[in-house]
Amino acid sequence: MPTTTEKQYILGIKVTGGTASDVYVNIRNQRTGDYYKVQTSSNEAAVNLRKLTDNGDPKSGTHTDFTNGDIIEITVSGLRAGGTTHTVNRTKGGGRVSVTLTDVSTSNAPAISI
């Protein structure tokens, strides 16, 4: 039997808007600073919060467990950008998040050179 600290929490993330292109989804727990980065596949990504680590690599680094009420930052980067947040509710075991993106251009991201 898994213990409470071993419980899985899956975030299903769907990105929409902007010109179709692969983007990276960056997930960060605001309380612990643990994070993870994953590339979308067909505008979707599934992330297990147990994979968040202090260096973004699920195979190494330390992991601080997530808990109820943790705010999860979700930012998207690539040729499209956007972001949102999600509040952890462990009784549900996960959540579905939709992020609307806009194309990155020299007018909305002046530091970008195209």
Q: Which domains, ranges and CATH numbers included, belong to the chain?
A: 10-103 (2.60.40)
d(CA 38, CA 111): 24
pLDDT computed for residue 93 by the predictor: 85
d(CA 67, CA 72): 11
pLDDT computed for residue 3 by the predictor: 45
- Mean pLDDT estimate for the chain: 84
Task: Per residue of the chain (114 residues), give pLDDT as tens.
Answer: 344 445 789 999 999 998 888 899 999 999 988 999 888 888 999 988 888 888 777 777 777 788 899 999 999 988 888 999 999 998 888 999 999 999 888 776 666 555
CA angle 77, 34, 103 (to 5 degrees): 10
**Percent of residues, the chain, with pLDDT higher than 90:** 40
